[in-house]
Structure 1
Amino acid sequence: MNAPRGPAPEEISSGQRVAITACVMIATLMQALDSTIANVALPYMQGSLAATSDQINWVLTSYIVSAAIMTPTTGWLERRFGRRRVFITCVVGFVVASMLCGTATSLTEMVLFRVVQGVFGAPLVPIAQSTLLDTYPASTRGQAMAVFGLGVMLGPIIGPTLGGWLTEYYDWRWVFYVNVPIGAAALALALGFLPRRGADPSARIDIFGFATLGLAIASLQLFLDRGEQLDWFSSVEIQAELALFLLGLYLFVVHTVTARRPTFVDRRLFADRTFVISQLLVFVVGAVLLATLALLSPYLENLLDYPVLTAGLVLAPRGIGTMIAMVVVGRLIGRVDARLLLGFGFGLTAFALHEMSLYTLDVSEATIIRTGIIQGFGIGFVFVPLSTVAFATLPSELRTQGTGFYSLMRNIGSSVGISMMSFLLIRNGQILHSSLGEHISPFARGVQWLGDTVDLTTEQGRATVNDLVVQQAEVIAYADCFRLMMFASLAVLPLILLVQRADRPVGKPASAGAEMH
């Protein structure tokens, strides 16, 4: 059954285009905020919900896993029910789930409501991105992706600051209640301006494809999220999750490649070289951006003794760099080869990470802010051209499915980056502590420099020296993590050469009924 497509970009008035942009950007920001806004409130939730340190982490894990599983279903949901209906339903469901999270009185309730929140939140970002791609003509899609990027990139950056402020001056429940006015604004604009697109009631989901990919994604997310808590492969649970991930991924790939008509994932997605390369690049973007934030917050709070709110304010200016970069690159994208912009963005990101690897316990707030702005500027120069070229060569009927996988790869990159850096930080810190401790003796120059303030023959003196060794070991371990992410940013530069120019013809346009092929 072929269904009519929505209006062509040329048929949409400038006023309606602005309203649609505002609508999807608000929804994107709302969903992106929830990826980090609850983190700083976890200690407060723990007391209110009578949870242990391990149990409270399920508030984050439940949302991440449910959203990851549901993201790839976005393409089928749009085909089956229509884009407008799915978007409105997801906004309403996300807001209701947020209100329920705010009223939760037990850990069980909170985890259940967070699962529901993840289910409804997952399709919002892919649908928002595909809506903008279909709303703007090809010549201005770079500017559209700049606007979209503001929501995606700024959400995780301002989340900790906003969450810390709400928790400090109001209550942790407001990190969920804040979604109500944001969602209401998105809903009002969607009801008034979001165009209707045809649905195909006969569209069926590929159950086997969904089940195997869902198994792989859920197992991977649990493996990454719980590995550090359970000491990785010494835990039977972690071994089982890795085995399930490999099994699910194997079955999904074999099914997609060999099935006569796999309806869950269109094979044409992976036949597009630029789209595949873009998935690898956005994986690195997700890993570097959120892993950096995950490292900097404890660095400022634990090593430099910054209050939570102060740490959030110091980290927030990197969002200014991102905003400036997206405005600039939105104007450059149609005039400058996107590959040059990508190379500049990754290079600038690598430079910022190199600067972070030089941080010491005496680093100033001005240095942290300056480096953050530089990194934000670099990420902005990467995200906009990458979001533009990733879908430039895809037929329009594959855009929603493509944006779903694009969001999935960014989120998986974030999970992998955070887990890997957290593991390396702890392991390297322990190794460095042992290595530095070997050189501690009454004859060591550093100990002699401390003079009469430290006496290694006393318990207090040994504890003081141990604290200093721990601090220095952690500083070096953080530096090693920043340096590793710098190398990762540089390592992807050769891949940019394989990206096809965004202004190259993409072949014949899709037919009128292709939207529901």
Structure 2
Amino acid sequence: MTAAASGGAGGEPNRALVTVSIMLATIMQALDTTIANVALPHIQGSMSATQDQISWVLTSYIVAAAIMTPPTGFLAARFGRKRIFAVSIIGFTVASMLCGAATSLPEIVAFRLLQGMFGAGLVPLSQSVLLDTYPKEQHGQAMAIWGMGVMVGPILGPTLGGYLTDLYSWRYTFYVNLPFGALALTGILLFVHETERDGRRPFDLFGFALLSIAIGALQMMLDRGQSQDWFSAREIIFEAVAAGLFFYLFLVQMFTAEHPFLEPKLFTDRNLAVGLFFIFIVGIVLLATLALLPPFLQDLMGFPVLTAGLVLAPRGIGTMAAMFLVGRLIRRVDIRLLVLFGLGMTAYSLWQMAEFTTEVSSWTVIRSGMTQGMGLGFLFVPLSTVTFATLDPKLRTEGASMFSLMRNIGSSIGISVVVTLLAENTQVLHSALAAHVSPLNPMMHAPFLPGAWSLGSTAGLAALNQQITDQALTIGYLDDFRLMMWLVLGAIPFLLLLRSPKRTAQRQAEMAAALD
């Protein structure tokens, strides 16, 4: 038993203080995945940057975090989990303050790189600490608490970011991390126990370099693909080839090296492998939906930034309610049934969104958001529990790193796909709708059409073109929601591959009894 585990088995007050400290670190990192998005136009104006240049403020953080997530397990094993956790919080908080104080674009991009590097390990480290702090029969409740930070943070990020930017300045979207970081660091230094250090474990620098280049190239391709017109640009082709080639070389290295960067036996655990697939789907739905809804509400429905944030915020209430319920149900109901229910609610919410119009009521948007929040809550907690139910405790930090990495890659791929499809479908639909605009079409002379849509004036044609663009864009959004709905439904059969933790425990007990 590790020190962390033994410490976690102690009294309830100590466990509660560990949980609070972990949650503060988790929320701080989770908020930063979306809080800066709302402030981006203000940062762009302050830095006198172009649209392409300002995107590096987001890209630099994503790429750095993606590259530094996999080595979290090794660093925790070599130097001690508590020590790495504390360094990560200090680095992330200091980098956040530097981002807020930046005076030029190169400065804020460099500081965002540092923020991503230090923040990469916060989520997997917090997950592994909670799993060791709570006994196995309470892992469901622990993951419910942890999941609130991971899932609610990105949802509330745009609301908090919009409020701070409007009331104060975009710089406060970074300064807000200071109190979270200070409290989390204090709690972790006081209440989290250190793990045993494995100084003999070698570091596979070559394997890490191969994986880093593969992840970095993939992220760059996804982030810049839309602006560069995808594979019509040499840059995107080069990044795609580099991602595929270096990932293949990494797999060769992983299965042939004596001490690989990632343990191959990590992926022989069926629940972990299937869990990584499902968290990839969760990543697509969670952040891709949040990438689509704000511009839909603001550009098509005319909502102000703060109003859009307030309409989106109740989905966080749905997530918290679901996690509160699932924490109580997880020991009484088959985990796979809870995951199935979560997938069903998520798919239903996406079907509701696929029925939106530009005149949809705020209550309908709130209701579908709360439904999706509850669906993701019912999905995330049991999934986090069952994924690690059969994994060797020694591999938990590495497994948690891969869990976090797959969620982030799913988010990147999901956002890139839906944004690309939105742009392409809007163009195709605009052409299809515009083909019906002709003086020869009797419907163009219908008495109920607005007089502003006159085909005989420039102003009338402009107004008509704007209406066609809005309609084409609306259908494009609905097609994206429908695509994600089918993706969620298509994942349901893979539930059959998950092993129930209770059945696995019974099987292990029977085997032990047979050996005795």
With the shorter chain as reference, the TM-score category is over 0.9
The within-5 A match list for 1:277-356 is 277-356=274-353
- What is residue 425 of structure 1 aligned with on the other side? 422
How big is each residue's C-alpha offset from its partner over 1:275-327, in whole Å with a ceiling of 9 and x where there is no partner? 10111100000001110010001000000010011000000000000000000
CA contact (8 A) 1:41 1:164 kept: yes
The 3 A distance-change label for structure 1 pair 500 and 444 is farther
- What is residue 512 of structure 2 aligned with on the other side? none
- What is residue 217 of structure 2 aligned with on the other side? 219
- What is residue 167 of structure 2 aligned with on the other side? 169
- What is residue 75 of structure 2 aligned with on the other side? 77
TM-superposed deviation, 1:274: 1.1
CA distance in 2, matches of 1:303, 1:6: 51
CA distance in 1, matches of 2:32, 2:490: 30
- What is residue 117 of structure 2 aligned with on the other side? 119
The answer to whether structure 1 residue 370 and structure 2 residue 367 are counterparts is yes
Please identify, of 6-15 and 322-331, the stretch whose mean Cα deviation from structure 2 is larger.
6-15
Which amino acid is 1:228 matched to?
Q
- What is residue 138 of structure 2 aligned with on the other side? 140
- What is residue 512 of structure 1 aligned with on the other side? none
- What is residue 24 of structure 1 aligned with on the other side? 22
TM-superposed deviation, 1:362: 0.8
CA contact (8 A) 2:140 2:330 kept: yes
The answer to whether structure 1 residue 384 and structure 2 residue 381 are counterparts is yes
CA distance in 1, matches of 2:32, 2:393: 29
CA distance in 1, matches of 2:332, 2:414: 33
- What is residue 476 of structure 2 aligned with on the other side? 477
CA contact (8 A) 1:9 1:136 kept: no
Q: Equivalent residue of 1:238, what SS?
A: helix
TM-superposed deviation, 1:256: 1.0
- What is residue 43 of structure 2 aligned with on the other side? 45
Which amino acid is 2:145 matched to?
V
CA distance in 2, matches of 1:301, 1:105: 29
The within-5 A match list for 1:387-398 is 387-398=384-395
How big is each residue's C-alpha offset from its partner over 1:220-272, in whole Å with a ceiling of 9 and x where there is no partner? 1000000001000111111110011001110011111222332x101111111
CA distance in 2, matches of 1:306, 1:256: 50
- What is residue 230 of structure 1 aligned with on the other side? 228
CA distance in 2, matches of 1:444, 1:357: 30
What is the aligned counterpart of 1:436 among 413, 433, 437?
Answer: 433
How big is each residue's C-alpha offset from its partner over 1:7-33, in whole Å with a ceiling of 9 and x where there is no partner? 436732101100111111110110011
- What is residue 397 of structure 2 aligned with on the other side? 400
CA distance in 1, matches of 2:313, 2:453: 39
CA contact (8 A) 2:72 2:398 kept: yes
The answer to whether structure 1 residue 192 and structure 2 residue 206 are counterparts is no
The 3 A distance-change label for structure 1 pair 414 and 10 is closer
Which amino acid is 2:455 matched to?
L
Gaps of 5+ in 2: 510-516
How big is each residue's C-alpha offset from its partner over 1:328-376, in whole Å with a ceiling of 9 and x where there is no partner? 0011111100110011100110000001001001100000001100000
CA contact (8 A) 1:39 1:160 kept: yes
CA contact (8 A) 1:9 1:137 kept: no
CA contact (8 A) 2:65 2:119 kept: yes
Q: Equivalent residue of 1:65, what SS?
A: helix
- What is residue 495 of structure 1 aligned with on the other side? 494
CA distance in 2, matches of 1:422, 1:18: 42
- What is residue 265 of structure 1 aligned with on the other side? 262
The 3 A distance-change label for structure 1 pair 325 and 445 is same
Q: How many residues align?
A: 506
CA contact (8 A) 2:202 2:259 kept: no
TM-superposed deviation, 1:505: 3.6
CA distance in 1, matches of 2:45, 2:453: 39
CA distance in 2, matches of 1:97, 1:259: 35
- What is residue 361 of structure 1 aligned with on the other side? 358
The within-5 A match list for 1:200-215 is 200-215=198-213
Identity of aligned residues (%): 54
CA distance in 2, matches of 1:446, 1:291: 37
Q: Equivalent residue of 2:41, what SS?
A: helix
- What is residue 460 of structure 2 aligned with on the other side? 461
CA contact (8 A) 2:7 2:193 kept: no
CA distance in 1, matches of 2:61, 2:413: 16
CA distance in 2, matches of 1:241, 1:40: 28
CA contact (8 A) 2:214 2:247 kept: yes
- What is residue 514 of structure 1 aligned with on the other side? none
- What is residue 515 of structure 1 aligned with on the other side? none
CA contact (8 A) 1:274 1:389 kept: yes
CA distance in 2, matches of 1:446, 1:224: 42
Question: What is the aligned-residue RMSD (CA, Å)?
Answer: 1.4
Please identify, of 160-169 and 495-504, the stretch whose mean Cα deviation from structure 2 is larger.
495-504
CA distance in 2, matches of 1:271, 1:79: 21
The answer to whether structure 1 residue 93 and structure 2 residue 100 are counterparts is no
Which amino acid is 2:168 matched to?
Y
Q: Equivalent residue of 2:404, what SS?
A: helix
Please identify, of 103-112 and 445-454, the stretch whose mean Cα deviation from structure 2 is larger.
445-454
The answer to whether structure 1 residue 410 and structure 2 residue 442 are counterparts is no
- What is residue 245 of structure 1 aligned with on the other side? 243
Give structure 1 regions of 4+ aligned residues with deviation exceeding 6 angstroms: none
Which amino acid is 2:159 matched to?
T
CA distance in 2, matches of 1:157, 1:486: 19
CA contact (8 A) 2:221 2:236 kept: yes
Which amino acid is 2:380 matched to?
F
Which amino acid is 1:243 matched to?
V
CA distance in 2, matches of 1:46, 1:39: 11
Gaps of 5+ in 1: 510-517
TM-score by length of 1: 0.96
